[in-house]
Structure 1
Amino acid sequence: MQLPHRSDLQFSHIGLYVTDLPRMARFYKQALRFTQTDEGDLGPVQLVFLSRDPNEHHQLVLATGRPADMAFNVVNQISFRVPDLGALRGFHDRLLAEGATDMAPVTHGNAVSVYCRDPEGNRLELFMDTPWYCEQPLKEPIDLGQSDEAILAQAEAIARRLPKFMSRAQWQAEVARRMQEDQNA
C-alpha cells in the first residue's frame, strides 16, 4: 500500500448551515465578492454554491437547516487571504457597508487581519501575510487608517519582541523540513 504524500490532500471548500439562505448568500456575494455558481435543493435542504476561483466549483456552500436558537456556534472562524493592505482596507469597508459586526483590525505579527461577524454570527478573518514569523497566538489592535509603512513597521516591531522571530522564508523552510520528517515517520 502506497502512503499518501502531503500534496495528495488539499483543502477545497467549507459548508455552513444557515437560517436565512438569501440573506447569507447576498452577504457573501456583496461583501466578499463571491460568485454564485449553482443553487438547488437536495431533498429538504436548499443549497447555494459560491466561489471566487474559476477552478473551484465552490469554495463555500450555504445550506439551510441551521437551528435559529443555537446557543453555541461551532465555527471558530473562516479565513481569507488578501494580497496587500489596500485590499484589506477595501474589504474592511465593504464588510462594514454590508452589515458585518464586531469589526476588529489586528496584527498577529506574521499577519495583519480584520476580524468580524457575518449576519449569522460566523467569525470571519481577512488577512495579509507579513514577511515575518513569530510565535502564535498573538493579537494586538492595529489602526488601518495609518499608512502601509506605519502598519508594517508596527507589525514587525511586535513580531521582533518575541524570541523566535525570523523571516517567513526561514520559518517556511523549517516547517517544510518538519513536514518531510513527519511524512517519513
Structure 2
Amino acid sequence: MTHPVTLSRIHHVAYRCRDAKETVEWYERVMGMRFTTAFAEDHVPSTGDYDPYMHVFLDCGGGNVLAFFELPNQPDMGRDEHTPAWVQHLAFEVPDMDALLAAKAHLEAQGIKVLGPTWHGVFRSIYFFDPNGHRLELACNIGTPAQYEELARVAPLMLDEWSRTKKAPRHAEWLHKEPTDS
C-alpha cells in the first residue's frame, strides 16, 4: 500500500533573517548560492494578519531552495535558549574531502570562524555561523556502502534502546573510532 502523502522533495526551508539584502549577498558571496525569487507583502497570505515581510529564495543546487523572512515589525530575532547552539543547524553536502577543505579555506579567507573538519564515521563536516546566527554545516560523505547498510540495520535497534534508556546506544561503536593516518 502506498502512503497517502506523496512527497517529491523539499520545496524550500525557511528561516528568519535580520536583513534580507545582507543575507542574500552573504549567501551569494560566501556559499555560492543564486538569488532567485523575492516576495514582499504587507499581509500574511495564510492568516491575513498585517505583518509586512520580505521573503527571499536562494538556489543551493540539486533542486534545493533556502529561503529567509525579514520581519521588520517583529521583535528582534533570537534563538531557543533552552536548546544548545550546536543542535539547530542546516547541513549542506559537498562532493568530497577536497571540496570540504577548499570550502573551509574560502570561509576562513572571508573572516568566518570555522570548526572542523569533524569526524562522524561516515562523513566529515565543518561548522560555522551565517550573519543571522544560524549554524551551518558543510559535510562530505566518506562511508562505504556496507557501512551505510549497517547503519540502516541498527537504526531501529538504537532508537528502541534510546527510547527505553535515554543513554547512547553503541550498536555502531565503529563510527566513533577515527582512523589514524599512517
- TM bucket, shorter chain: 0.5 to 0.7
1:59 correspondence with 2:60 = no
Percent of residue pairs identical: 24
Q: Indicate the larger mover: 80-89 or 63-72.
A: 63-72
| Structure 2 residue matching 1:167: 3-state secondary structure | helix
Give the Cα separation in 1 of the matches to 2:154 and 2:70: 39
Contact persistence 2:18–2:77 (CA under 8 A): no
Kindly tell me: are residues 106 and 68 of structure 1, through their superposed partners in 2, closer, same or farther at Cα, counting changes over 3 Å? Answer: same
1:22 correspondence with 2:34 = no
Kindly tell me: are residues 26 and 4 of structure 1, through their superposed partners in 2, closer, same or farther at Cα, counting changes over 3 Å? Answer: same
Residue in 2 that maps onto 1:70 = 78
Give the Cα separation in 1 of the matches to 2:129 and 2:6: 32
Contact persistence 1:99–1:119 (CA under 8 A): no
Contact persistence 2:104–2:114 (CA under 8 A): no
Residue in 1 that maps onto 2:53 = 45
Q: Which runs of 5+ in 1 are unaligned?
A: 134-165, 179-185
Give the Cα separation in 2 of the matches to 1:111 and 1:16: 25
Give the Cα separation in 2 of the matches to 1:45 and 1:25: 15
Kindly tell me: are residues 71 and 169 of structure 1, through their superposed partners in 2, closer, same or farther at Cα, counting changes over 3 Å? Answer: closer
Residue in 2 that maps onto 1:167 = 147
- Map residues 110-121 of structure 1 onto 2, 5 A cutoff: 110-121=122-133
Give the Cα separation in 2 of the matches to 1:121 and 1:45: 19
Give the Cα separation in 2 of the matches to 1:39 and 1:85: 34
TM-score (normalizing by structure 2): 0.64
Q: Which amino acid aligns with 2:136?
A: L
TM-score (normalizing by structure 1): 0.63
Q: Which amino acid aligns with 1:63?
A: F
Aligned residues: 142
Give the Cα separation in 2 of the matches to 1:131 and 1:5: 33
Residue in 2 that maps onto 1:86 = 98
Deviations for 1:109-141, whole angstroms, at most 9, x for unmatched residues?
1111001111121111100111249xxxxxxxx
Q: Which amino acid aligns with 1:119?
A: P
Q: Which runs of 5+ in 2 are unaligned?
A: 43-51, 158-182
Residue in 1 that maps onto 2:121 = 109
Give the Cα separation in 2 of the matches to 1:82 and 1:32: 11
Give the Cα separation in 2 of the matches to 1:35 and 1:126: 17
**Aligned-pair CA distance for 1:108:** 0.8
